[in-house]
Amino acid sequence: MISVGMIALWSSLTVSAVNYDEHPRTEQFINEMVKEHQYDPKVIRDVLAKAERKESILKAIARPAEKTMTWHRYRQIFLTDKRIKKGKAFLIEHKDTFDVVEKKYGVPREVIAAIIGVETFYGGNMGSYRVIDALATLGFDYPKRSLFYRELKNYFLMVRDNDLDPFALKGSYAGAMGYGQFIPSSYISYAVDYDGDGKKELWSNIDDAIASVAYYFKRYGWKNGEPLSSLVTLNDSDAAKLADKTLSLKGDFDYWKSKGVNVPKDVNNQEAALFSYQQKDKTEYWLGYKNFYVITRYNRSRLYVRAVYELSQELKD
Ligand SMILES: [Ca+2]
């Protein structure tokens, strides 16, 4: 008979002994890559053999930070004097690039800078995990793995098609890379070679990184000069129940009026969604518009959007 303790020991030995080229999900992964993308199976097997399972990654992703944090607390992390000051210097330092990029893509420089500021402190913290380890660990061993399994596939495509070293690229525990923390599918679709050297270097070339963030927003339909959101009041407490239900634009001003929201008079009637923000001693409500939605395509969190927006306003002056 095997004791519980022995089972635990045995399973932990099994897990640590498995290389990703021998993982139970590997054969299917390789078969799909060959079938879907004519990928060389030997290349995948060789790379996965050197990919490492990281317990720290599985622990980090299980932490529900953004889901439970109030706006009041979240704001303290991102709207610091240091981040504002560094952002202003960042805009000055890269002014020439911002002049070109802002004009070409129609996305304000302070929004691009705020994204890079919130994501990585303007490149100061781009993540220290090998992307191959992050995506193999989450793609094969995280219970909610489907997104990461897809991104692991995209990572293999990205390194093949851009002639990148699969072991050299670093990122966050979730496999987000470079100044703007692009996941591989975003790299494939939105990374830009700004300086024309044939490489899309989002880790080491700030001009490529700035242009890539701008292009991402352009492709998701950023409407230059349009408002992002309005602070609103409610005249029916039931309206509060409609807040934070979805990031998608839910209805126009007539809809929100009928639900008890005092819609703004200085903004054109348009599609909006209702969001709540917990301040220290009160709850605020915002109607978010198209540009609000576009920022949620970068990170699906209403707290994130507001942090980017407020930081961008601070950087504007
Ligand atoms: Ca380049």
- Going across the sheet that includes 283-288, the strands are 261-262, 229-234, 283-288, 273-278
* Chain-centroid distance, C-alpha 1: 48
Q: Does the pLDDT at position 35 exceed 70?
A: yes
Alpha-carbon torsion (296, 297, 299, 300), positive or negative: positive
Q: Does the pLDDT at position 63 exceed 90?
A: no
Q: Does the pLDDT at position 16 exceed 60?
A: no
Name the 3-class secondary structure at 163.
coil
55 domain residue, yes or no: no
| Ligand 1 center–CA 198 separation, angstroms | 6
Q: How far is CA 114 from CA 3, 90, 121, 278, in A?
A: 55, 10, 9, 22
Q: Does the pLDDT at position 1 exceed 70?
A: no
What digits encode the pLDDT tens for the residues 120-131? 999 999 999 999
| Ligand 1 center–CA 177 separation, angstroms | 15
* CA–CA dist 293, 277 (Å, integer): 16
Q: Hunting for tokens 């990374």 — which residue is that?
A: 191
* CA–CA dist 302, 295 (Å, integer): 9
246 domain residue, yes or no: yes
Q: How far is CA 311 from CA 57, 84, 92, 288, 292, in A?
A: 29, 7, 16, 17, 14
Is 66 an active-site residue? no
243 domain residue, yes or no: yes
Q: Are 293 and 223 in contact (CB under 8 A)?
A: no
**CA max distance for the chain:** 75
Alpha-carbon torsion (41, 154, 176, 148), positive or negative: negative
269 domain residue, yes or no: yes
144 domain residue, yes or no: no
Marked catalytic residue, from 102, 110, 119, 201: 119
Q: Are 192 and 100 in contact (CB under 8 A)?
A: no
**What total number of domains does the chain contain?**
1
Residue 64 — pLDDT band, cuts 50, 70, 90? Answer: low
Range of the structural domain that residue 255 is part of: 229-288
Question: Which of 294, 291, 283 has the alpha carbon at shortest distance from 244?
Answer: 283
| Ligand 1 center–CA 200 separation, angstroms | 5
Q: Hunting for tokens 């302070």 — which residue is that?
A: 110
| Ligand 1 center–CA 190 separation, angstroms | 13
What digits encode the pLDDT tens for the residues 257-298? 999 999 999 999 999 999 999 999 999 999 999 999 999 999
219 domain residue, yes or no: no
Residue 177 — pLDDT band, cuts 50, 70, 90? Answer: very high
Residue 4 — pLDDT band, cuts 50, 70, 90? Answer: very low
Q: Hunting for tokens 């700030």 — which residue is that?
A: 206
**174: exposed, middle or buried (Cβ count in 10 Å: 0-12, 13-18, 19+):** buried
63 domain residue, yes or no: no
54 domain residue, yes or no: no
| Ligand 1 center–CA 114 separation, angstroms | 22
Residue range 53-82: mean pLDDT, rounded: 90
Residue 68 — pLDDT band, cuts 50, 70, 90? Answer: confident
| Ligand 1 center–CA 196 separation, angstroms | 5
Could you tell me the pTM of the whole model? 0.92
Q: pLDDT value at position 160?
A: 98
What digits encode the pLDDT tens for the residues 106-148? 999 999 999 999 999 999 999 999 999 999 999 999 999 999 9
Q: Does the pLDDT at position 89 exceed 70?
A: yes
Q: pLDDT value at position 65?
A: 66
pLDDT over 70 percentage in the chain: 93
